[in-house]
Each structure stands twice: as C-alpha cells, then as structure tokens.
Amino acid sequence: MTSILDQLRIMTTVVADTGNVEAVKRYAPVDCTTNPSLVLAALKDEASEALVMREIEAGKAAGKSPEEITATLTVAVGAALTELVPGRVSTEVDASLSFDVDASVTRARAIIADYAARGIGRERILIKLASTWEGIRAAEILQKEGIDCNLTLLFCMAQAVACADAGAFLISPFVGRITDWYKKAEGRDSYAPDEDPGVKSVRRIYDYYKSNGIETIVMGASFRNADQIKALAGCDNLTIAPKLLDELGSEEGVLERVLSPEKATGVPPVEMDEARFRWELNADPMATEKLAEGIRNFDKDHKALIGIVAERTQ
C-alpha cells in the first residue's frame, strides 16, 4: 500500500516548509517556501554552510553592510533551492515593511532583480508578503507587473477576501497558530480534526474561493500534527515541515479526499474595502493577535540573521 504522503501528492501540491537543502533533496517537493526563521535554521545545515559563507565573503569583499548581505543571502538560499525543485521558491519581504506599500514594492522588485542577476526568472519565484492591508496593496501592484505573490500570516476570511480581490497568486492561511490560540483561549488540550479551528478556517476559505471561481491558490500552512494535514487533503497546496513529511511518508492506510472544487457550497461573494477589512480584523482577537505576533517574530529572526552576518564579517 502506498504511503499517506504519496496519496496526498496525487490530490494536493506538496510544498516543503524548509530552507534546508538536504531536506529538500530528500523529500523532492514541487515548491519550497521559506522565511527568516527557516533561513536561520538553514545556517545549521552543513549543506548550506558553504553557500552561506561564500555569500558573506563576497558581500564583505564588495563592501556591503550586514543588512545588505543578509538581503542577498536570503536570495542565495532561494537560488540554491530553485535547482532542487521544479516549481516555485517563496522569498519574503522584510517583516518590518509590512505596513509600508511603497517600501514593500521596492524591496520585492530588488529581490526579483537579484534573482535575475543569478539567472533565475521571476516565474520561479513567489514574493512573500504579510497579509496586512498594506501588504495586500503591495501585492496588487506587483501582480500587475507580473510578479507573483504569496500572502502569508493569513488568519481570517477578511484577509482571504482582500487577497483574492487583489489578484494574489497564492495565499498561505495558517492552521497550527490558529489552533494554538484557541487551545489557550478555551483551555483545550486538543481538537478532533473536523473541530479544529485552524482546519475549519482553511476549509471556509477554500469553499469561498471555489464557490466564486477565484483562481488564487490556497496553500494551508503551519501544521502541528499530521491529522490537520489529512483533514485538508485536496487543498490546492499544503506546505509541510520535514518532521511531518517523515511521519506521512512512513504511514500507510487510505487517505480520503476532503476538499475539492466540486464540493463548493456556493458561498456568495463579499465586498471588501479598507474600512471593512480593518474592522473585521479588529473584531477577531485571534487574527489580530496572531498577525501582529507573526510580524514581530519574523522581524526578530530577520534581525537575528543580520546579527549573525555582522559577527561573520568582522
């Protein structure tokens, strides 16, 4: 009998939630997604260490600052990953720019230009932006320029609707972080898959998109256990960490498809403007708290990367 992971690959595009070169070689995903936290983890990977040091030494020789070297280092890791996957590699705009449309657009263009200088076309890259109102507006501008975007840190329907309206190529609604919040708020140790708040959130977004013929790809992210992944089998994409890929790869049994366009319930479209977006986000304490926390943590890891680069350039 084929593994659960092999069955999942038939109905869903599996994305590796890692910047670890060896992990990507091992799991052979279609796409890769990364962020500052994952690049930090990649620094501990021997296969990535030589790449990291080459980039740092080249930046140092060129007289670049630690901040500038960190920016090119992220692209260098992404460039290495494009050699290992047939699809896309997501590269994140600095979290500190999450509320600045113009700066986000400028940074995204610089990322694409850096990849182009390395011989990698924009069709291989997704620009990751936080799903703030400003991040979504930046994505709208970039999409019109032919730069595809991955809207991340997405926790509620208002964000999903706004991303669809902006023509985002892909969204990454989070599962585990939503579940974490509700477990703490409700004093729960666990949820059955069909009752899991994170799973239910992604299912609602998927239903809305398929009900309205929205082409934006839904990529479930941030999983805490394999049951959450199985409960979203059939979702367009799922980005999964190596530990859970291992678990799914070693498990046998029958995986039932849960999500499909044919099962859409006909949810009517929603008109979303800035005022409604901000109000609905504000009215959802989970989404408000997790979005802010996610931005802070990504920024913290970005600064940690700069610190490591600064130490290695002394």
Catalytic site positions? 128
Task: Count how many residues are written for the chain.
Answer: 314
Cα distance between residue 167 and residue 142, in whole Å? 10
Q: C-alpha distances in angstroms, 242 versus 18, 96, 109, 155?
A: 7, 28, 30, 23
Contact between 72 and 276 (Cβ < 8 Å): no
Paired strand residues for 239? 15
Q: Please give the Cα distance from 32 to 273 (Å, whole number).
A: 32
H-run or E-run covering 148: none
- The C-alpha angle 291, 124, 293, rounded to 5 degrees, equals 10
Is 237 within 8 Å of 170 (Cβ atoms)? yes
- The beta-strand segments (E) located in the chain are 13-17, 31-33, 89-92, 125-130, 149-154, 170-173, 217-220, 237-240
Which 3 state secondary structure label does DSSP give 151?
strand
